[in-house]
Amino acid sequence: MAKLKYFPTLLHGFVGDGRIKAGAEHVVDIFYSANLLNLPLWVTADYQHITNPGFNVDRGPVNIYGMRIHAKF
């Protein structure tokens, strides 16, 4: 994992308002994939929880939900 101290000027313009209070970013990603009705069709649900996004302790936590449908023809 990259440490913020190696990129102090690169990230300041993109994350946060002013100087960043640096901290470790932690991510949890959970997903489940299911085949529907024995057809060539899969549905995948996804959940992500991110604390200190962008290595900034002043931001987050962030919850991200997603869904994907995959079909084979």
Task: Decide if 4 is inside a domain.
Answer: no
Task: Decide if 10 is inside a domain.
Answer: no
Instruction: List the domain range (segments joined by +) for residue 28.
Output: 21-71
Higher pLDDT among residues 28 and 58, named by residue: 28
User: What integer pLDDT is reported at residue 29 of this predicted model?
Assistant: 97
pLDDT in tens, 33-52: 999 888 999 999 999 999 99
- Tell me how many domains the chain contains: 1
Q: Which of 27-31, 57-61, 69-73 has the lowest mean pLDDT?
A: 57-61
Rounded to whole angstroms, how far apart are CA atoms 18 and 41? Answer: 47
Task: Decide if 65 is inside a domain.
Answer: yes
**Angle 8-19-54 (CA atoms, 0-180°, nearest 5)?**
65
Q: Is 19 helix (H, G, I), strand (E, B) or coil?
A: coil
pLDDT in tens, 5-25: 555 555 555 555 667 788 899
